[in-house]
A and B are shown apart, each in its own frame.
Chain A
Amino acid sequence: MECKDLIFFLSDYIDGELNPKICAELDQHLNKCESCRIVFNTFEKTIYLFKEIEPHKLPDGVHNRLHKVIKESWETKMRIHLKTFASNKMEIKNKKKEVETMSPIRRYHPLAEISKIEDMFDRYLNQFFRDFFPKRMVRGELARVEWTPAVDIVDKGTHFLLRSELPGLKREDISISVTTDSIDISGETKRSEEEKKENYYKCERYYGSFSRSLQIPADVVPDKVEASLKDGILEVKLPKKEVKKVKAIDVKVK
């Protein structure tokens, strides 16, 4: 081993990740080379010193502000969560308030974007594998990919109409929240107690939670959104925000 090799292996040596043979050679070299020993000592000391740097204490108020923000988000979520679908006309959870209270800290979240893309791939792949292979053949990651409901969105002029296939779901199993430009549909498909006890010969249906978040192409009015569920199809009417038309005024030129 030469001096220039030593520097290459230093980190692995200190982290204990070097293979024993090279490790022994390095030990040998360190024993006889004063200069390398200094490099090693100072390198090790550097790591030690940096590890020992005292972390900055949270400045005053940071802890309280953080926990306050979290509490607020939590409460908003709970308020939405506790509402249930009362009548045939489904109640839409309006996320508008949440947006207002949280606007100071709502910012672009890079991970949300990544997970959207992931969801998209998962969905396509999952669909592909479901279509082409019986479930038992799908192993590993893909078999665990969740089910997501298929969705159509139609532009009806004054409103958008969203249709989604939610077979076997009851109103109370579905939760919808709408902002001015997005809609989240989530819920859970459950196996009944009786079904759970049954002796399965084939078991392909999906049970568990699902969710879909969709962007709406133009601004809508969350307060006026209506939804209904019939024969396993969810229909959500999303009225568009009216764009005030400016009246044309005739101006006479004298």
Chain B
Amino acid sequence: MSRYSDDVLVEKAQSDDLNAFDKLVSRYEEKIYNLAYRILRNREDPEDVLQETFISVFKSLKKFKRKSAFSTWVYRIATNAALMKLRKKKLETVSLDAPLKISENEIKRETVDWSKNPGKIFKTQRLREIMEQAIELLPYHYKTVFLLRDEEGLSTDEVAKVLNISVSAVKSRLHRARLSLREKLTKYFSTGSFEKPKEV
């Protein structure tokens, strides 16, 4: 049944086919878990968000009109569930809209082209940790855009629908998130160390 498209499975699930719904869940559970894991910054259990998301999906399944893709709808429910968790715990000490501070206008003279480093340098566990930490430190609104667009591979339009923001907002947040991540990696590769930057 896994060869069926989301649409076909959704239709089956809407006519009370549990097996089809299970397939849909299996198709997205890991993605949603990862998304929740990164949004929640290890402060909350992503499993809660995972369960809440799919119970919510299950309950509203009949109301889902398939005007948008099933994936878009699921991501939307998941990001909202994760955000609610953060809000409830009031763990974000600053506004979720806090701007991302990057030096967009003052481009430094770059001297180290670390992108040409030998491949094995990019496969170290240390780099992975650094990258995960870098994502973790992005403010919420940049992080969600970045995760959905670059990690989950959604299109700009889809991300805009999931987060209910304009396409240009997606583009600008994505761009700023990417710049910020590049700066962090550049710092790591040029100094060989990675100081934990102050949280923005």
A interface vs B, CB < 8 Å?
3-4, 6-8, 10-12, 15, 17, 35-39, 41-47, 49-51, 53-59, 62-63, 65-67, 69-71, 73-74, 78, 81, 102, 105-112, 115, 209, 211
Q: Are A66 and B54 in contact (CB under 8 A)?
A: yes
* With contact pairs A42-B185, A57-B30 given, residues A71 and B52 touching in the complex (Cβ less than 8 Å): no
Please tell me if the beta carbons of A42 and B182 are within 8 angstroms of each other in the complex. Answer: yes
Residues of A within 8 A of B50 (CB): 62, 66
Closest-by-CB residue of B relative to A67 is B22
Taking beta carbons and an 8 Å cutoff, which residues of B are in contact with A?
16, 18, 21-22, 25-26, 29-31, 33-34, 37, 47-48, 50-52, 54-56, 58-60, 62-63, 76-77, 80-81, 83-84, 104-107, 109-116, 122, 127-128, 131-132, 135, 146, 150-151, 153, 156, 171, 174-175, 178-179, 181-182, 185-186
Neighbouring B residues of A56 by C-beta, 8 Å: 30, 33-34, 37
Docked CA distance A211–B11 (Å): 19
Residues of B with C-beta under 8 A to A211: 63
Decide: B181 and A46 in contact? CB cutoff 8 A: yes
Q: Are B105 and A4 in contact (CB under 8 A)?
A: yes
Contact between chains at B33 and A58 (CB < 8 Å): yes
Distance between Cα atoms of A38 and B114 in the complex (Å): 8
Q: Is the CB of B34 within 8 A of A42?
A: no
Contact of A58 among B21, B30, B146 (CB under 8 A): B30
Contact B30 A49 (CB under 8 A): no
Q: A46-B181, A55-B30, A57-B30 are in contact. Are A12 and B171 (CB under 8 A)?
A: yes
Query: Nearest CB to that of A43 among chain B residues?
Result: B182
18 chain-A/chain-B pairs, Cβ below 8 angstroms: A17-B156, A17-B171, A35-B109, A35-B110, A38-B112, A39-B107, A42-B113, A42-B186, A47-B150, A49-B122, A50-B135, A53-B132, A56-B30, A63-B29, A66-B51, A70-B25, A73-B58, A111-B76
- In order of increasing CB-CB distance, the 8 nearest A-B pairs are A45-B115, A38-B110, A11-B175, A41-B115, A46-B182, A38-B113, A110-B80, A55-B34
Residues of A with C-beta under 8 A to B111: 35, 38
Chain A residue contacts of B135, Cβ below 8 A: 50
A115–B73 CA distance with the chains assembled, in angstroms: 13
Contact assessment for A66 and B25 in the assembled complex, using a CB-CB cutoff below 8 Å? yes
Report the number of A-B residue pairs with Cβ-Cβ less than 8 Å. Answer: 153
B55 engages A105 (CB within 8 Å): yes
A46, B188: Cα distance in complex, Å: 12
Min CB–CB distance A85 → chain B (angstroms): 19
Q: Complex: how many Å from CA A205 to CA B91? A: 51
Q: A49-B131, A110-B84 are in contact. Are A70 and B22 (CB under 8 A)?
A: yes
Measured CB to CB, the closest approach of chain B to A67, in angstroms, equals 6
In the complex, the chain B residue whose C-beta lies closest to that of A8 is: B104
Docked complex Cα distance between A67 and B21 (Å): 10
Do A3 and B110 touch (CB < 8 A)?
Answer: no
| Nearest-Cβ distance from residue A36 to partner chain B, whole angstroms | 8
Cβ distance B129 to chain A, nearest Cβ, rounded Å: 11
Chain A residue numbers with a CB within 8 Å of B37 are 56
Q: What is the bound-complex CA distance between A44 and B112, given in angstroms?
A: 14
Cβ contact of B51, chosen from A7, A43, A65, cutoff 8 A: A65
Residues of chain B within 8 A of A110, CB atoms compared: 80-81, 83-84
Q: Which of A65, A74, A81, A115 counts the most chain B CB atoms within 10 A?
A: A74
Known: A71-B18, A107-B52. 6 other contacts (CB 8 A): A41-B113, A42-B186, A43-B179, A46-B178, A62-B50, A105-B52
> How close is B166's CB to chain A, nearest CB, in angstroms?
15
Identify which of B51, B58, B83, B146 gathers the most chain A CB atoms within 10 Å of its CB: B51
Chain B residues with CB under 8 Å of A7's CB are: 104-105, 107, 179
From residue A34, how far is it (CB to closest CB) to chain B in Å? 8
- Tell me if A115 and B132 are in contact (CB < 8 A): no
List A contacts of B77 (CB < 8 A): 111
Flag if A44 contacts B58 (CB, 8 Å): no
